[in-house]
Homo-oligomer: A and B are copies of this chain.
């Protein structure tokens, strides 16, 4: 009996110390910074101790939790929707920017600028009920394939970040998405893919309006911006949805700078940037990129000693291992 107990205790200790909560992360300063922060934040004898209800960790999505090249995936969703709706809109054969979308003329789409993008977003994201939109996204995320990698978009999430989300939740952190992407686009699949429920997703939004259809209330998506959850909008979104400041913040671009600064207001917080340095396994871009531009935020991270996660150096693998069913 005594021997069995001793054995059991030794075994437990081995398990606790041997298990690496971040197996896809290489040893190095980024991994150390995260693990040391969490160890201290959850130890009430530590100067960085954070009470359980204050353990809020916020994550940008595009480029931080999943890839964002060759274009934001939600834009690729919108282009797919234009193609799917084209039969109902014969006028699109001659009307820009829809003509360009149908002809895969990306130069003309890009040249249509913000006005063109808004036209595409209006026809693909507004006018329907929230139920209808959710159903459309659910179907797309299940069936669509990334144009270059030829896999479902949800296979292009970062395995090291999935481990980080789980590690934080196992230590009592509430994990939030704070994305420039659309809140109603994200909420459909974030629970399955990241373990983040809809009520912990913050994103850009449009206004919705209550109407009665067939005697039942529905919410109809309006062509009117509610919140742009990017740059200075990120602290606004955090205040609106969470009502208190996070203690950990992860981003990858200048659009996250204000979120990291907002997190930096209080002491004993961790701010981190994912730096896309891996052209071979993912994509490499920063200062010059039109998507996920990283310039000012990287300078400020270096000046202030924030954590910079170098994808090539810090991550053993980028994407989850293929599972038998795909």
Binding site for B on A (CB under 8 A): 53, 56, 130, 174, 183-184, 187, 191, 197-199, 201, 205, 208-210, 216-217, 219, 226, 232, 235-236, 239-244, 258, 261-262, 265
Contacts and interface: CB of A to CB of B under 8 A. Distances in A.
A35 B210 CA distance: 31
Contacts of A199: 56, 174, 199, 241-244
A204 B236 CA distance: 15
Given A199-B242, A208-B236, A208-B239, A217 B130 contact: no
Contact of A187 (B183, B209, B243, B258): B243
Given A243-B201, A244-B198, A258 B184 contact: no
A74 B272 CA distance: 39
Contacts of A217: 235, 258, 261-262, 265
* Main SS class of interface, A: mixed
A109 B198 CA distance: 42
A198 B235 contact: no
Contacts of A210: 232, 235-236, 258
Given A199-B244, A209-B232, A216-B265, 18 more contacts: A56-B199, A130-B239, A187-B243, A198-B242, A198-B243, A199-B199, A199-B241, A199-B242, A201-B243, A205-B240, A208-B239, A209-B236, A210-B236, A217-B235, A217-B261, A217-B265, A226-B240, A241-B241
